[in-house]
Structure 1
Amino acid sequence: MRHLHNTLYVQTQGTYLHLDHDTIRIDHEGRKIFSIPLHHLEGIVIFGNVLLSPFLIHRCAEEGRAIVWLTRSGRFKARVHPPVSGNVLLRHAQHHALADPERRMQLARRFVAAKIRNTRFTVMRSARDAPDPTDQAALQRTARELARALGQLEHLSNQDLDAVRGIEGEAARTYFASFTHMIRSNRPTFALDGRHKRPPRDPANALLSFLYTLLASDCQSALEAVGLDPQMGCLHALRPGRASLALDLLEEFRAPVADRLALTLINRAQLQHRHFDHHPGGTVYLNEEGRKIVLTAYQKRKQEEVRHTLLREPLPVGLLPLTQARVLARYLRGEMPHYPPYVAQ
C-alpha cells in the first residue's frame, strides 16, 4: 500500500501553530486563518518568525513527523525529528559497508552515474523542445559531453573516490553552463551564469537553491523513516552536522524533480522578476509571494506519477526518496548485489 501525505509549509510571519484536539490550528494576530487534520501531514516546514506550541512539537515527535526550521529566505537552520527508528542492525550494516573503500566507491559511482544520466535526460528533452536552433545545438553538445562523462565514470578504478567527485563536479559545471539554453521565457531575468550557492546571486540560482533545500529535507526524512543514518554517506565528505547520505541520495533527484520544476515555473512565466528580492551585496532570494508559488507547485509535483524502473509501475514523485531509501537499505543489508538508483524515463 502506498501512502503519500502532505507537508505543511508555513511562511506567514508572526503565525502561531498549536493543537486543537487532532487538528493543527494556525492563528495570526489572534485570529484563526487555517486548520488541517494532523493525520494528513508527514511533516512541517516553517520559514522565519513562526511559533509552534510545545504540545504540537511533542505530538509530532511521538508520531514520527519531522519539523524543519528555515530562515525566511529558505536557508536551513534546524530540524527536530523523533527518536531513531529502525533495526540497529541496519545501521550497523550501513556503517560496515561504507567503511569498505570498494563498496563505498561503487555506491558513490552509482549516485553520480544516476545524476549525470538524469541531467542528460533533462538536457536532451529541452533540446528536443527548443524552438531556437542555437539553443538546440548547444544543448546537444552538452548531452554529448555528459555522455563522455558517463564513459569516464565507468572506467575508473575501484579506489579513486576523488576522481568520481571530479567527474561529478565537471559534469555539473558543463550542465549549468548550458542551463540558460533551456530557458524560453524572460531569459534576461533568469539567465544562469554558473552555479552560485552561498549566497545565490541571481533569480535562477535562488530558485534552484530553494528547491534543493526542500528536496534535501525530503531525502533526509526518507532515510530516517527506513532507519538509515543520514549523516553517514559515501560521495559527500563526512562533516559534523552534514547529512551526507541525504545529499548523496539527493543527487538522483536534482534534475528530474527540482530542475525540471524550476524550468517549468520559468518557462510558463509563473515566476517573474517581482517574485525575487535583491539584497545589498548582490544576494538574491525568493520573496514571500515567490515562495508561495514554488511551494504550491512543489506539492503538486510530488503528486504526479512517474514510472519507476525497478518497480516497473507508476509511482508518485513524492514517494521516490522513500522508495530509493528502502532499496538502499536492502543493498546495505546484502539483499541485493548492487544498488539500482532512480533513472528518469
Structure 2
Amino acid sequence: MSKGRKIIIVSAGRLKRENNTICFINDKEKKYLPIENLEEMYVFGRVDFNIDFFEYIGEKGLVVHIFDYYGWYKGSFIPKEHMFSGELIINQVQAAINQSYSLRLAKEFVRGAIYNLARISYKRDPELKNKLKDYYYKLDSAKNNEELMGFEGNARKTFYDSMKNWIDWEFDGRNRNPPKDSTNALISFLNSLTYALTIKHIMRSALHPGISFLHANTERNRFSLALDISEVFKPIFSEALTISLINNKKLNPELHFDFDSNTNGMYLNQNGRNIVMKEWVNMLENTIMHRALKRKVSFDKLVELEIYKLIKDLLKDKKYKSLRIWW
C-alpha cells in the first residue's frame, strides 16, 4: 500500500532492484514502486531482500523499517548521511554522566509526556487532567531517574484507568509482552511505530542513539535515546490515535486481531495492520501551524524539530523544553 512518500508492505514476498527502480514480487503480483517519490518503507512479515536492493535504496535515501510477524520492531535501514560531530558526541556523553544535567533532561522528557497526556484528556475527563497536573508538578521533587520513572508510571496508570471509560473495547489497564487484549495490542503496535520513527530522525542527526538521559544506557537491543524522546510523542502518536481508531470504529476487535497460542498474546492481523498503517501515515503527513516557526509543519517533522532542540541544549545554545501540545 502506497501513501504519498511512504509505502507499507504487509504481504510475504521479495523486494528487489530491477533496472532503475525497485519492485515487490510474490505469488500473486509483481508491482513496481516509484522510488523517486518514496521516503520511507514499512515492511511486515516474511520479505526477502538482497544486497543490490539495499545499495540502490541507499543511493536514493530510502529508509526501511522492518517488523516481525507480530508487529514488533526489529530494525531499520537508514542510509548513511555523514552527519558526524565529535563536539556533539562529547557533549552528549558529558551530559549523560553529569547527574544534574542528565536529570534535568530526563525530567523534561517526562514533563512533555505527562503534559501531553493531560492535554488529550481535558475534554474527556477534566478531573483526570487535574490528577495528571499533580504528577506534573511533583516531577520537580524527583532526585533520580527511579523516582522520575515512578511518577511517570503512576501518571500513565491513572490515565489508563480513565481511558477505559472512553472506549467501547475491553480494557482493564496496560499489559504487554505479550498484550492480552485488542486495545493493548493496538497501543503496543503504535508504540513500536513511534519508536521506529524516532530512531529514523535520531540517525539522521549527529546524536548517538545509545546515549540517553531517562532510560538506562545499558538497554539491550534497543536505542535508549529513542526511548527517551518517544515518551514525549506516545500520547500523540499512540494513545490519542488508539482512542481515535476505536471510537471512530476504524477497527473491529473480532475481525482485525488474532490470538496467538504460541505466545499467549493478541496481535493485529494483516487486515488490521493495513488499516492502522493508513491512519498512521495520514497522521504523520497531517500539518499544523507551528507557533514558533510561524509556518505549517507535519507531525513527522515535529520529531525532527524535537531532536534539534535537544542538540541545541547539548551545544549550550538553548535549554531544551519538550513539546507541549497546543492544538
Decide: shared fold, TM above 0.5: yes
Instruction: Choose which of 190, 214, 221 in structure 2 pairs with 1:241.
Output: 221
Q: Provide the aligned length of Structure 1 versus Structure 2.
A: 320
Q: Which residue of 1 aligns with 2:240?
A: 260
In the TM superposition, residue 282 of structure 1 has moved relative to its aligned partner by: 4.1
Residue aligned with 1:170, SS: helix
* Residue 76 (1) aligns with residue 55 (2): no
Q: Which residue of 2 aligns with 1:330?
A: 312
Letter in 1 for 2:159: Y
Q: Which residue of 1 aligns with 2:132?
A: 146
Instruction: Choose which of 17, 26, 37 in structure 2 pairs with 1:19.
Output: 17
Cα distance in 1 for partners of 2:20, 2:98 equals: 46
Q: Which residue of 2 aligns with 1:134?
A: none
Does the 8 Å CA contact 2:164/2:173 hold for their aligned counterparts? no
Task: Describe the shift of the 1:103–1:312 C-alpha distance in structure 2 as closer, same or farther (beyond 3 A).
Answer: farther
Q: Which residue of 1 aligns with 2:259?
A: 278
**Alignment map for 1:75-94 (pairs within 5 Å):** 75-83=72-80, 85-94=83-92
Encode CA deviations 1:31-80: one digit per residue, 9 max, x unaligned. Answer: 41x32222322332211111123211122334543333211220122333
Cα distance in 2 for partners of 1:6, 1:192 equals: 35
Cα distance in 2 for partners of 1:31, 1:275 equals: 24
Encode CA deviations 1:166-213: one digit per residue, 9 max, x unaligned. Answer: 111111111111111221xxx1xx232111121011101101111111
TM-score (norm 2): 0.92
* Residue 173 (1) aligns with residue 157 (2): yes
Q: Which residue of 2 aligns with 1:341?
A: 322
Does the 8 Å CA contact 2:73/2:196 hold for their aligned counterparts? no
Task: Describe the shift of the 1:53–1:146 C-alpha distance in structure 2 as closer, same or farther (beyond 3 A).
Answer: same
Letter in 2 for 1:11: V
Q: Which residue of 1 aligns with 2:298?
A: 316
Cα distance in 1 for partners of 2:59, 2:102 equals: 34
**Alignment map for 1:179-198 (pairs within 5 Å):** 179-183=163-167, 187=168, 190-198=169-177
Does the 8 Å CA contact 2:209/2:224 hold for their aligned counterparts? yes
Q: Which residue of 1 aligns with 2:197?
A: 218
In the TM superposition, residue 30 of structure 1 has moved relative to its aligned partner by: 7.1
Instruction: Choose which of 26, 29, 36 in structure 2 pairs with 1:28.
Output: 26
Cα distance in 2 for partners of 1:155, 1:31 equals: 59
Residue aligned with 2:204, SS: helix
Letter in 2 for 1:6: R
Letter in 2 for 1:266: I
Residue aligned with 1:191, SS: coil
Letter in 2 for 1:328: L
Residue aligned with 1:214, SS: helix
- Percent sequence identity is 25
In the TM superposition, residue 226 of structure 1 has moved relative to its aligned partner by: 1.1
Does the 8 Å CA contact 1:265/1:271 hold for their aligned counterparts? yes
TM-score (norm 1): 0.87
Does the 8 Å CA contact 1:48/1:70 hold for their aligned counterparts? yes
Residue aligned with 2:15, SS: strand
Task: Describe the shift of the 1:327–1:196 C-alpha distance in structure 2 as closer, same or farther (beyond 3 A).
Answer: same
Structure 2: gaps (5+ residues): none
Cα distance in 2 for partners of 1:203, 1:41 equals: 31
* Residue 201 (1) aligns with residue 180 (2): yes
Q: Which residue of 1 aligns with 2:122?
A: 124
Does the 8 Å CA contact 1:6/1:299 hold for their aligned counterparts? no
Q: Which residue of 2 aligns with 1:163?
A: 147
Task: Describe the shift of the 1:52–1:113 C-alpha distance in structure 2 as closer, same or farther (beyond 3 A).
Answer: same
Instruction: Choose which of 301, 305, 317 in structure 1 pairs with 2:283.
Output: 301
Residue aligned with 1:292, SS: helix
Residue aligned with 1:226, SS: coil
Does the 8 Å CA contact 1:23/1:36 hold for their aligned counterparts? yes
RMSD: 2.0
Task: Describe the shift of the 1:334–1:21 C-alpha distance in structure 2 as closer, same or farther (beyond 3 A).
Answer: farther
Cα distance in 2 for partners of 1:146, 1:307 equals: 26
Does the 8 Å CA contact 1:309/1:343 hold for their aligned counterparts? no
Does the 8 Å CA contact 1:309/1:342 hold for their aligned counterparts? no
In the TM superposition, residue 151 of structure 1 has moved relative to its aligned partner by: 1.4
Letter in 2 for 1:228: L
Cα distance in 1 for partners of 2:39, 2:314 equals: 26
